[in-house]
Structure 1
Amino acid sequence: MAAAAVVCAAAPLLAGCGDAGGLRSAGPTPTAVGPERLWPSLPPATRAADDYGAGETAVIKGVDVPGGKLRKVDPVTIVRARVTSDPQDYKDVVDALADCGDPGPRTAGCPVLDAYYRDLSGDGADDLLVAVRAPKRQLYTQVYTYTGGKLIQIMDDKDAVINVQLAGRSVVVRSAADLPGYEYRTSWSYDPHQKAMLPARDEIIRTGAPSTPAPSPSPSRS
């Protein structure tokens, strides 16, 4: 009897040794399947894939940022300086900026929307998020940061935008897809190595029935 007790203590999971509440086998474990490389003889790419400006930055000159605080600068001033530096890239909004004042009052026709301020780069200071309406329901979504004594544009995306959302330190751009009933969602996040906002996640998803949207954060008006 003593020997039998020792055996059950050493192997409590053996049939007849454990009580009704003991662990039971769930059966054989499925074999893990890893990614399988297809066409292994395919030669490596010789050039980078086409993108849409990911990782591109631009230093904005001619704009004074008092104390390095972007909240103290009119977003229109920043956008106008950016457009002036590359008029060909923004030729579809050059004329509309005349409705933004300076000189004159800012009217409803101004394509620069109210700004938002969030720390997207993780340096503890607010970055500037601004959107500029373009013809054919296109929208420029831009992010500016001030670092090292320089005003730098770290994101510039243009698309047929449904809406733009903030998720932590990511900017999520929802845009129209070519397929009916679908939309694109691109999540832009700051990359400390590239020092720019990169499209860290890009997906096409099926849109369901309309639902009640979540409350939007209030913009900080200049």
Structure 2
Amino acid sequence: MASSRPFRFPRAAPAALAVLAVLLPCTTGCGDTGGLANAGPTPTASGPVHLWPGHKGASVPPADPGGAPPEYVPGIAPVRDENVHGIDPVDLVQAEVKAHPRADVGPDGMPRATAEAIEECGQEGADPKDCPVLTPYYRDLTGNGKDELIIGIRLPEDQMSVRVYTADADGRLNRIMATTQTLVGVELAGRDVILHMPSGLGGYELINAWSWDEKQRSMLPTREQIVRVPAGGSGDAGGSGGAGAS
């Protein structure tokens, strides 16, 4: 004879059913709640390829820990507050010519006729147009918040000597760049001095960028490229104004 008592689930059954009710939807929807999703195919990463890895190339000597010694300009009064705006560019170049008489090559090299013309600059009766020292420019090239002094010296055959000077906290004037090149023009771009030179290839010119190197405590040629000259030729050097400009 069948029992008339109703069937009852075990006590643990309701809890198990509740867990089952929660887990069942996750089998179909949990992939959209923070899980990884297929984004489709991605391009293969491409990096530099070292050509001829077995070839032994030239070695680079280690840098001098002390850097290049500063080249201080003799015969110049101490510079106050690292302010190069108070320096007379003609007096400065004349002091360098006096310190390096008859220098034919190197950073101070120039034709004797140019050196004699520099010595005549500012003299009574001298025509200012005959002075080879050009109007100076000023720009912070070292990133220390102080302007550097940029001087150009006109030389024969379209050559120019470009020199840059900075002052230190002790009032000494340090020449941090000096180069003589046949130039098409000169530009200031940010903290770089850009030299435009003939490349020897028709329709193209050579661009040489000089940048401040903290390790060497001087300006170094850091980038060089050959570019096509736009229609009308190279533009004006621009920069940041003439004498007294910043």
TM-score, normalized by the shorter chain, greater than 0.5: yes
Structure 1 residue 98: Cα displacement? 3.8
Structure 1 residue 36: Cα displacement? 0.8
Change in Cα spacing, 1:37 to 1:103, as seen in structure 2 (3 Å) is: farther
Change in Cα spacing, 1:104 to 1:124, as seen in structure 2 (3 Å) is: farther
User: Could you tell me whether the CA contact under 8 Å between 1:143 and 1:154 is conserved in 2?
Assistant: yes
Structure 1 residue 29: Cα displacement? 1.6
Question: Given the alignment of the two structures, is residue 186 of structure 1 paired with residue 208 of structure 2, yes or no?
Answer: yes
Question: Given the alignment of the two structures, is residue 6 of structure 1 paired with residue 26 of structure 2, yes or no?
Answer: no
- Normalising by structure 1, report the TM-score: 0.78
Structure 1 residue 45: Cα displacement? 4.5
- Corresponding residue to 2:58 among 44, 59, 77: 44
Residue 124 (structure 1) aligns with: 145
Sequence identity percentage: 27
**Where in structure 2 are the equivalents of 1:69-84 lying within 5 Å?**
69-84=83-98
Question: Given the alignment of the two structures, is residue 61 of structure 1 paired with residue 65 of structure 2, yes or no?
Answer: no
- Normalising by structure 2, report the TM-score: 0.72
**Where in structure 2 are the equivalents of 1:1-222 lying within 5 Å?**
2=25, 3-7=27-31, 9=33, 13=37, 24-25=39-40, 27-38=41-52, 40-42=54-56, 44-45=58-59, 58-67=71-80, 68-86=82-100, 87-88=102-103, 89=105, 90-92=109-111, 93-102=114-123, 104-147=125-168, 148-210=170-232, 213=235, 216=238, 217-220=240-243
Change in Cα spacing, 1:39 to 1:215, as seen in structure 2 (3 Å) is: closer
For structure 1, which runs of at least 5 residues remain unmatched after alignment? Answer: 15-23, 49-54
More helix by share: 2
- Aligned-partner residue type, residue 132 of structure 2: P
User: Could you tell me whether the CA contact under 8 Å between 1:165 and 1:172 is conserved in 2?
Assistant: yes
Question: The residue matched to 2:211 in structure 1 has which SS?
Answer: strand
**In 2, Cα distance between the equivalents of 1:7 and 1:71?**
69
Structure 1 residue 177: Cα displacement? 0.9
More strand by share: 1
Change in Cα spacing, 1:197 to 1:204, as seen in structure 2 (3 Å) is: same
